[in-house]
Homo-oligomer: A and B are copies of this chain.
Amino acid sequence: MPLTRDRITEAALRLMDAEGLEAVSMRRIAREVGVEAMSLYNHVEDKDDLLNAVIERVMQEFPFPEAVDDDPIVYGRRLAHCWRNLLRAHPSVIQLFGERKHSGASVDSLRPMDEALSALRRAGLSESDAAQAFHTIGSFIFGTVMMETGQPFGNGEHARAFPTGIEAELPNVAACASFLAECDLDAQFEFGLDLMLEGLRAKIEVA
């Protein structure tokens, strides 16, 4: 089996899904495909190039919904779920987005973006508002998935160990602690999505 750019990209993705981004080194990828590290450079310019290829690959497997002939807001909600699922399937790509410019986006990797913009415009938004709404919802999706997977604030095994003696100093954190720690991630996502889509509907009705 010959070594190819695709085999390398796939191995890198598999590795980072399984063991996290910090496990991804050229030497380790090489071992994974049964080769020495420097051989990778015959198919890849550098590690950066490889990681961009990984992003590209992930974007290409974007799981589009089958049906399109819907209320555009409903379809937009479906697209949002697709984004979330994709990112949850490959949590490390979020870190990649955070660290790199991802300057070389291909047509294929922009197709999901086009689809989302299309839905927003069909819903009645101007080009400018569609762009803003896309950014907003996109940021929200990235942020939630990042929080789900990195858990900056809560959601350890079952309940986060907040520092003791909290009730006096942080009454609101204490009161909401159980909801912050044990919240259902799907419900959480739905809550935020509703907030934004309702806001959008209101904005459209005004116009």
Closest CB in chain B relative to A199 CB, distance in Å: 4
Cβ–Cβ contact B99 & A95, under 8 A? yes
Cβ–Cβ contact B199 & A195, under 8 A? yes
User: Which B residues touch A173, using CB under 8 A?
Assistant: 110, 113-114, 117
CA separation between A169 and B111, bound complex, in Å? 8
User: So how many copies of this chain end up in the complex?
Assistant: 2
Asked whether A192 is an interface residue with its Cβ less than 8 Å from the other chain, the reply is: yes
Identify which of B132, B150, B199 contacts A100 (C-beta below 8 A). Answer: B150
Asked whether A171 is an interface residue with its Cβ less than 8 Å from the other chain, the reply is: yes
Contact with B along A137-156 (1 / 0, CB 8 A): 01111111011001111001
Q: Chain B interface: which of A23-31, A35-43, A62-70, A123-131?
A: A123-131
User: Which B residues touch A129, using CB under 8 A?
Assistant: 191
Asked whether A1 is an interface residue with its Cβ less than 8 Å from the other chain, the reply is: no
